[in-house]
Amino acid sequence: AVKKYERKFNGRKTSQLRVSAKEIKEAQSKISRDELDALTLMSGALRWNTNEFLSSLPSLKKKGRSPVPSISYTFVPIPSVGCYIPGGQARYPSSVVMSVTTAKCAGVKRIVVVSPPGRDGKLDPSTIVTAKRCGATEIYKIGGAQAIGALAYGTKSIPKVDKIVGPGGKFVSIAKSLVSDQTAIDMIAGPTELGIIVDTNANPELVALDLISQAEHSKDTMCFVITTSKTVAKQIQKSLEKLIPDVERSAIVKQSISKNGFIAVCKNQNEMIELANKIAPEHLELMVGNAKTLSKKITGAGLLLIGKNTPSAASDYILGTNHILPTNGFGRTRGGLSVLDFLKLQTVVESNKKRFLELRDSLKVLTDAEGFPNHFRAVERRLD
Catalytic residues: 282-283
Quick check: 22 and 77 in contact, CB under 8 A? Answer: no
Q: Which helix (H) or strand (E) holds 110?
A: strand 110-114
Question: How far apart are alpha carbons 113 and 279 in whole angstroms?
Answer: 31
Q: What are the residue ranges of helices labelled H in 61-203?
A: 93-96, 102-106, 125-134, 144-153, 170-179
Sign of CA dihedral 271, 275, 276, 280: positive
Quick check: 47 and 151 in contact, CB under 8 A? Answer: no
> Helices 125-134 and 33-56 sit at what angle, rounded to 10 degrees?
40
Please choose, from the candidates 125, 167, 127, 126, the residue with its C-alpha nearest in 3D space to the C-alpha of residue 147: 167
User: Residue 64 contacts by C-beta under 8 Å, 6 or more apart in sequence?
Assistant: none
- Tell how far CA 235 is from the center of its chain: 33
Quick check: 243 and 211 in contact, CB under 8 A? Answer: no
Please choose, from the candidates 277, 281, 278, 237, the residue with its C-alpha nearest in 3D space to the C-alpha of residue 258: 237
Which conformational region is residue 280 in: left (phi greater than 0), alpha (psi within -120 to 50 degrees), or beta? Answer: left
3-class SS at 264?
strand
Beta-ladder partners of 110: 80
Share in percent of the chain as helix, strand, coil (round to 5):
45, 15, 35
